[in-house]
Amino acid sequence: MTDGSYAGMTDTQIVQAVTAAGPVQPPKPPRAGVHPKVRLTTLLGLDELPGELTGWGPITAAHARELVADLGSAQWRWTLVNAAGQHLRTGLTLARPAGFAPGGTPPAR
């Protein structure tokens, strides 16, 4: 309601507009302590390689994307590896990458 779409409306008009929109799904709660490992290409929908849920084992690409989408505004820890899987660099994002809004889905390709 803070986007200005109700500016200039009376209370009665706002109530009518909100109730006409139908029921609203509450946002999913953030999944604290969940640490999925998944390739960026999989998150972007470029492949269907499985991910891994730390402490649980392999998960499907679709489940990995769902978990990442549900992580709210969590920071992301990333690791860059070479073709042999050897660690090259690790970092932490300062903000969620664009296109991954809380409860949303990755950007379309």
Residue 49 pLDDT greater than 90, yes or no: yes
Instruction: Give the number of C-alpha atoms closer than 13 A to the C-alpha of residue 93, restricted to the C-beta side.
Output: 11
Instruction: Give the number of C-alpha atoms closer than 13 A to the C-alpha of residue 41, restricted to the C-beta side.
Output: 6
Short-list 20, 36, 18, CA closest to 77: 36
Q: What is the pLDDT of residues 60-109, one digit of tens each?
A: 999 999 888 877 667 778 888 888 888 899 988 776 556 555 554 555 54
Task: State how far the Cα of 42 lies from the Cα of 64, in Å rounded to an integer.
Answer: 8
Task: State how far the Cα of 109 lies from the Cα of 73, in Å rounded to an integer.
Answer: 22
pTM above 0.75, yes or no: no
Region 14-41 average pLDDT: 73
pLDDT recorded at residue 75: 75
Helices (H), 1-109: 11-20, 40-43, 61-69
